[in-house]
Structures are given as C-alpha cells and as structure tokens.
Amino acid sequence: MKYIEKLILENFQSHKHTIIEFDSQLNVIVGPSDSGKTAILRGIRWVLFNEPSGDYFIREGESECSVTIAFNDGTKIKRYRSKNKNIYLLYDSNNNEMKFEGFGTSVPQEIIEATGIKKILLDSDLSKSINLSDQLEGAFLLSERSSTRSSSIGRLVGVNIIDDALRETLRDSRNLSSNKRLLDDSIVELEKELIKYEYLDELNIRINEIELIRKNIYEKSNRLSKYKKIYEKLSILFQEKKETNYYLEKLGNIEEIYNLLNLITLKVSHCNYLTTQSNLISRLSLNKQQNINIVNSLKYIHKAENNIQNITLLYNLEIKLIDRKSKLQKIKHEIKELNIISSKLKDLDTLQNNINKIHNYINELKNLISIKDREFSLRKSLALGEKYVEKLNEVHKISNIHMDLQDKIILLNRLKKLENVYNLNESEIKNTNDSLSKYNNEIKFQLSQYKEILLKQETCPLCFSNIDNDKINHIISHYK
C-alpha cells in the first residue's frame, strides 16, 4: 500500500524547517495550541490539492516556502512558492525531475497520477476530498444534506452515469423535436416562396435562345471583318497589278538594255584590272627606290656593328661602374659609422687608466674580503660570548667595522661589474678595429680596381672626355 513516508516543511507558516517521518500504520500528532499541527495538514493539502491559493502562508520575514512529500515507493513531490514563482516538482524512484508551471488553481494530471489522490465529486457542483478532512469537520457525508448524500452515494455506486445519460437523452430528444418543427415550418415557407419563381424556367429557355442568337451574331461579325480584310488586300493587289503593267509597257526594250549592261560590266572589270596593275607597278617602283636607299645606307654596316659592340661594352662597363659606385657609397656609410666609433674610442687611454684603478680597487677589495673572512671568524667567537657583550664598552667600534665592511662589499660588487663591462668594451674595440682594417683594405682594393678600369677606359664615365693619370688620381682622391 502506498503511503506518505516523510514530510518536509520549509518556511511554511510557523515552520522554519521541519521534517516529519510517518509510520505505515497509525500516526498521531500531539502538541499545544498554535504549535503548527494544523499547518502540517494544510501543507499536505497544499501539495495534494493546490489549496489554499495565494502566498499568505509564507513564513513572516521570508520570501519563499516549500513543502515536500516523500512516498514509500520513492516518489517525491515538492511544492514551491515565492512572490514570482509557483512550481510543482515531481521526482520518480530514479530521482528524475519533472517541472510544472502555469497550472493555475488546478493540480497537474501527472501529480494526481503519481499520488493516486484526487477529489471526489459529491454533486454536480460540489467536490470533496475523502482522504483529508479539516479540523472539527464531521464524518463523511453525515454533515451534508440528504440530497447531497443520495447524489454522492449514487455517484459512488455509478447510478449518476445512468441519470446523466437519461438526462442528456431527454434534452437531446427535446432539442431534436424543436429542430424538426422549425425545419417543417421553414420547408412550407420555402415552397410558398418557390411558387413566386415558377416563371424562371421559361425565362431560362428564352435566355438560352438569346445566347444562341448572340453566338450567331458574333460569328457573322467575325466573318464580316475577315471579308473586309480580304477585300482590302485584293484592292491593294489590283493597284500593284496596274503599276506593274505600266512599268512592263515602258520596259519593252529590256533585252537590249540587258546586253548593254553585260557589255558595260565587262568593260568595267577590264578597267579595274588595268587600274590594279598600274597601282602594283607604282608600288613596285617605290619599293625599288626604297631598297636602293637601304643598300646605299648599308655601305658602312661593318662600322656600325663595331660601334654597337663598343657601345655594348661601354654599357656593361657603365653598369659595373654604377655597381661599384653603390658599393663605394655603402663603404662610405660604414666609414662614417667607424669614424663615429673611433671618435667614441678617443678616451681609450682614460678608460685604461680607470681600468688600472679598478684593478687596484679590486686588490684592495680582495684584502677587504680577507678582512671580512677574519670578521666572520670573529663573529663566530663573539657568538659564543654573546651574554658578555653588554659588559664590553668597545662594541660600537665592531658595528662600525661591520658597516664599513658591508659598504666595501657593495663597492667590490660594483667593481666586478665594471670589470665585466671593461672586458666587453675591450672585445668590442678589438672587433671594431678588425672590421675597420678590413673595410680599409676593401676600399683600397676597390679603388685600385676602379683606377685600373679608368686607365683601360681612358675616358671619363660621366663627361666621356679623355683623362690621364693625374685626372685619374684626382678622381680617386675624392673617394678616399
């Protein structure tokens, strides 16, 4: 048998959080007045029958409440209410959740099927729960009217089904009889109205005859329009025939004219041929003169070929010179950068002196480190006599020595960093000097090649004037 196993009330009337477990047999709830006994039954009624409506049963000071009923078969039903939400939650034995909203004042059918508890209709307008009763409510049906009791017993037995069927049958019979009378009356009225329209058959026959006449008229009018078009075409043909006869009378000597036309055509073709030959002869004479001019102009073709070869060589040489010039510009840029680096390295002697000083400082710091080591051993010995330190008057001197040692250690670290910087600068200076010597050698080599090219060329690449050794040296001096 299915029964309620557990009830959970949260913020429902006087219950903040109450859990009640029920037995499968008899359960008795005992407590003083206003302790929440009735609220328990009201919570069960609220879940099972969605009564009472509204949200006034939410605990004072809270914004929401819920009541959960757990059955012995694992089914759970949770009813949740807040100012904005009104929800049923159904959990089956596998804890699968179903959510219901917008059900109004009724209970969702799935909830009724899950609980098996619903209200029973006692009368057509009165329903009552036989599973729950309110406080001070009488026994089932004893407090109801005799008519209600008889109707309820009839409904429980099933007699109400026969009564409802008879009532519905009598009502349907009365409705059908009244409808039959109304239909008979309307048939009589319609027959009377039809008498007025008996002439319509004759009128229909006349309409059909008129329709046939209209069709004949339409066909004859179409035929007439076709005849008119044919007559117009015939008149046009007669006119054309008349004009043709007129021209035929004038063309009586057409054969002679035709022979003359053939003769004229032959003469014209012969004339065109002669004209074509004349034009061809004139073009040939013109081409002959052009060829003679070309032959005369090709007397010095060998010199032209030699000049073309020389021009080609000069052009290639110019390209090489342009390439050399771009390389020289790059070398100049690098020389400028090297000059900047060399200007920065002017104070190299001063840096060397500073490095020597740094070495001296390093030696001093090594001495200080040895002093620090001795100070460390002294600190160890002082740690053994720590309890006698307060008796010593010269303790402030040791602290001063310690501070000096710390300052010197900081200075030593700085000197080590300076030594690393010096080593890096020294290697950078060496690399710069190597690259500078390499660039100088490259410049000398390029200038020597450029000088050789100018000596072989014996002409200036810009103004194409003759140059000698002095001019070449002057040109080279601008690139040094």
Report the chain's mean pLDDT, rounded to a whole number: 76
Q: What is the CATH number of the domain that holds 8?
A: 3.40.50.300
Per-residue pLDDT of 101-123, as tens digits, reads: 888 888 898 988 888 887 766 65
How would residue 295 be classed by pLDDT, with cut points 50, 70 and 90?
A: low
Average the pLDDT over 442-469 and give the result. 72
**Residue 197 counted as domain residue:** no
What DSSP element (H or E) covers 79? strand 76-82
CA angle 221, 227, 229 (to 5 degrees): 105
Query: Which pLDDT score is estimated for 68?
Result: 96
Per-residue pLDDT of 125-172, as tens digits, reads: 555 555 666 665 556 566 666 766 666 666 666 666 777 777 788 888
Per-residue pLDDT of 330-363, as tens digits, reads: 777 766 766 666 565 555 566 566 666 666 666 7
**Residue 281 counted as domain residue:** no
Average the pLDDT over 28-57 and give the result. 86
Does residue 71 carry a pLDDT above 80?
yes
How many domains does the chain fold into? 2
Q: 446: closest CA among 357, 327, 352?
A: 327
Query: Which pLDDT score is estimated for 419?
Result: 79
Q: 457: closest CA among 315, 323, 244, 329?
A: 315
**Residue 161 counted as domain residue:** no
**Residue 145 counted as domain residue:** no
**Residue 193 counted as domain residue:** no
Structural tokens at position 88? 């049923």
Cis preceding-peptide flag for 32 (omega within 30 of 0): no
Per-residue pLDDT of 234-266, as tens digits, reads: 888 888 888 777 766 766 666 666 676 677 778
Query: Which pLDDT score is estimated for 31?
Result: 86
**Residue 448 counted as domain residue:** yes
Q: Which of 69, 101, 118 is the last residue of a domain?
A: 118
Does residue 66 carry a pLDDT above 90?
yes
Q: Which of 118, 136, 167 is the last residue of a domain?
A: 118
**Residue 195 counted as domain residue:** no
Q: What's the burial of 115, exposed, middle or buried (CB within 10 Å: 0-12/13-18/19+)? A: buried
The region of weakest confidence among 176-190, 385-399, 464-478 is: 385-399
φ, ψ for residue 32 (rounded to 5)?
A: -70, 175
CB 6 within 8 A of CB 21: yes
**Residue 96 counted as domain residue:** yes
Average the pLDDT over 387-412 and give the result. 66
- Residue 50, domain extent: 4-118
Q: Look at the pTM and tell me if it is higher than 0.85.
A: no
Average the pLDDT over 223-229 and give the result. 87
Structural tokens at position 420? 């690393």
Q: Which of 93, 118, 143 is the last residue of a domain?
A: 118
Query: Which pLDDT score is estimated for 80?
Result: 93
Per-residue pLDDT of 358-378, as tens digits, reads: 666 667 777 777 777 777 776
